Amino acid sequence: MNCMMTDSEVFKEGLAGVPAAKSRVSHVDGTDGILEYRGIRIEELAKSSSFIEVAYLLIWGKLPTQGELEEFEYEIRTHRRIKYHIRDMMKCFPETGHPMDALQTSAAALGLFYARRALDDPNYIRAAVVRLLAKIPTMVAAFHMIREGNDPIQPNDKLDYASNFLYMLTEKEPDPFAAKVFDVCLTLHAEHTMNASTFSARVTASTLTDPYAVIASAVGTLAGPLHGGANEEVLNMLEEIGSVENVRPYVEKCLANKQRIMGFGHRVYKVKDPRAIILQDLAEQLFAKMGHDEYYEIAVELEKVVEEYVGQKGIYPNVDFYSGLVYRKLDIPSDLFTPLFAIARVAGWLAHWKEQLSVNKIYRPTQIYIGDHNLSYVPMTERVVSVARNEDPNAII
Ligand SMILES: CC(=O)SCCNC(=O)CCNC(=O)[C@H](O)C(C)(C)COP(=O)(O)OP(=O)(O)OC[C@H]1O[C@@H](n2cnc3c(N)ncnc32)[C@H](O)[C@@H]1OP(=O)(O)O
Ligand SMILES: O=C([O-])CC(=O)C(=O)O
């Protein structure tokens, strides 16, 4: 009997279901809708913890004592400022450029300022963790101010992590409830097992490059509309739908055209994402306190109609579906939604960076070659134009 596996048995499109690491950082049960960070349920962390405590938990592997938390918060608070070179660099970016592109470039640029040191030096690891957590929000806010024609607002050392970020967008101290809601959003987005951007971070980490390159590569991966970029697309979609009556025809049109409905579906969850449940609740709390948003009824109807049509395929709201409604109520521009996701996910990426270093083996999978062999080199003068460029499925446009 031939025990060899065939190529189609070995190959899984999108590596679906293929383990890429052994990890202790987080766990998802996609059937029962459970998410745990280091074994603690997301609902509990959202209710009782803070983003910085959650970042500590993810990165250092345990809940901090009071003293450890205060020290970590202090370090982050005192490293929030960015060098004027980074601000000046941002002034050269086109103001129409997407903030995720600005963030990816700035995160990579941070590495220019901090010499590479041995990756087994705990002081270097700690300093990189602190700098990245501290400076990424400042860079997001600085690019936003610069593109609006303003000077960046310096971080306010009196404010906690979430309040300071909102302050750097407006120069106004935020309402404490709004800041608390934003902090919970950061917790909800901090980590999610082997998603595309975390995989990207781990692959980059596995080459033993510097942590700024690891984060820059992950930011670039998060930006795509099938991943973190979906949160911005959701708001555009709600705007396009425009009214509750248009929801059903919109869904029917998308499904007929095999078009994705943004903020729905997930590789792992086959039920409503537990983070979407919490975000929906946060949105409702914000509306009760700060006024309603007419998009909410459209979103709720969309969830109902999508379930009716494709619920049996396990297509339900993911984390990106309700987050935009929360951020819109906090007056955050929609093209900053994915950068907000990145600010939070830095915690998870750093946890995976550290974990990867502790067991490192460079990622180098294989492929199934499906191209030609033994072709002859054809001299330029003998080549014929056989297909129009736009008809060639392999053409790079
Ligand atoms: C933070 C995050 O990254 S959360 C995800 C954010 N992304 C989005 O919201 C974009 C919309 N969603 C999607 O594109 C997908 O659901 C993904 C990328 C999240 C997951 O993709 P995959 O696991 O590869 O699922 P896949 O593409 O195989 O879809 C399975 C089936 O569900 C359908 N489907 C999946 N998502 C959607 C959707 N959003 N709208 C309509 N149909 C969908 C597919 O058409 C497919 O149907 P078929 O089996 O009849 O062909
Ligand atoms: O797990 C995934 O594939 C995507 C996701 O929800 C996340 O990164 O938060």
pLDDT at 383: 94
Q: Which residue has the least CA distance to atom 34 on ligand 1?
A: 265
pLDDT at 328: 97
For residue 66, give the amino acid letter.
Answer: Q
Contact 195, 178 (CB under 8 A): no
- Residue 36's φ and ψ, nearest 5 degrees, are -130, 135
The answer, yes or no, to whether ipTM is higher than 0.85 is yes
Q: Which residue has the least CA distance to atom 4 on ligand 2?
A: 195
Query: Which ranges of the chain have pLDDT less than 50?
Result: 1-2, 397
Helix (H) or strand (E) holding 29: strand 26-29
Among the listed residues 310, 305, 324, the one whose alpha carbon sits nearest the alpha carbon of residue 250? 305
pLDDT at 387: 60
Alpha-carbon distances of 371 from 74, 249, 374, 397, rounded to whole Å: 56, 43, 10, 20
- The structure's pTM equals 0.96
CA distance 357 to 208: 8
Atom index in ligand 2 nearest the CA of residue 319 equals 6
pLDDT at 132: 98
Q: Could you tell me if the CB of 192 is within 6 A of ligand 2?
A: yes
Nearest ligand, CA 264: 1
Three-class secondary structure of residue 333 per DSSP: coil
Q: Which residue has the least CA distance to atom 17 on ligand 1?
A: 266
pLDDT at 1: 43
Ligand 1 centroid distance, CA of 264 (Å): 7
Alpha-carbon distances of 241 from 122, 253, 334, rounded to whole Å: 51, 11, 16
262: left (phi over 0), alpha (psi -120 to 50) or beta: beta
